[in-house]
Amino acid sequence: MINGSDEEFLQGGNTDPVVRVGDTVRRLPQPWSPLVRELLVRLREVGFDGAPYPLGTDERGRDVLTYVPGEVGHYPWTPAVGSEAALISAGRLLRRFHDATAEVAGRWRGGWRWPAREPVEVICHNDFAPYNCVFEGDQVRGIIDFDTAGPGPRSWDLAYALYRFAPLTSVRDKGNPPSSYVQGTRARTFLDAYGADRHLRIGALNHVVPRLTALTTFMREAADGGDGNFARHIAEGHLDLYLADIDHVTVHTTEWIAQLTD
């Protein structure tokens, strides 16, 4: 039997509490949790070791997952999280994750938190960001929090990864580089590490604004539907920040495409 003193609340878990108990993580199951568990089992079966593994449920009905050791890249960024080495390792890890899911993505179209986005090529994490990555020093070793995972094109997932890792934002308190040129340089480093060809680079950059727009729509609809967490996020100014970033990316997308495809 687990008591409260055994549990360590983990930073993050924006919609539901996530706790650590020893070498495990516990979280409440959601309607999409069975698919997430299948995904995590699939990853282990094909040799992808950079994700938690499901261990069943505990006496409270919570999902039990293996704990991925290391440091999560929360804001404000440390020098290691903002390093070029972190960019390279993150790009390589996302490519491994996508490749591990490509064979099954087309068979898992329904039941996810977010609907499938065509063309389905892989299972997208849909929130691949430093705050959902586990670091060992300046190396990204693991991915956590697959609640928003779902089928879609590689470029859709890459778009959000670039937004978070470059980061393609106008907000300086989240570790963004000092100029759009440096943002483009960091985006190129990430895509080089991923192994993206010219077509995929253009697709990823052109998807950043639609991806952020989809996020703002989701936030509004969730808040209007009574979700207190998203209502709080909007009240705290998160929606306004995303809207400002949409403007920033809109202004610089053509510049970045030229920079990343020359």
Express each pLDDT in 198-244 by its tens digit. Answer: 999 999 999 999 999 999 999 999 999 999 989 999 999 999 999 99
Confidence bin at 1 (pLDDT 50/70/90): very low
* Residue 178 pLDDT exceeds 80: no
The confidence score (pLDDT) of residue 2 equals: 53
Confidence bin at 33 (pLDDT 50/70/90): very high
For the ranges 1-10, 60-69, 92-101, 164-173, the lowest mean pLDDT is seen at 1-10
Q: How confident is the prediction for the chain on average, in pLDDT?
A: 93
* Residue 175 pLDDT exceeds 80: no
Q: Where are the domains of the chain?
A: 8-66, 71-261
Confidence bin at 196 (pLDDT 50/70/90): very high
Q: What is the DSSP string of the chain?
A: ---GGG-EEPS--SSS-EEEETTEEEE---TTHHHHHHHHHHHHHTT--SS--EEEE-TTS-EEEE---SEE-PSSPPTTTTSHHHHHHHHHHHHHHHHHHTTTGGG--SSSSS---SSP-EEE-S--SGGGEEEETTEEEEE---TT-EEE-HHHHHHHHHHHHTT--S-GGGT--SSHHHHHHHHHHHHHHHT--HHHHHHHHHTHHHHHHHHHHHHHHHHHTT-HHHHHHHHTTHHHHHHHHHHHHHHHHHHHHHHHH-
Is domain 71-261 annotated with CATH 1.10.510.10? yes
The confidence score (pLDDT) of residue 7 equals: 87
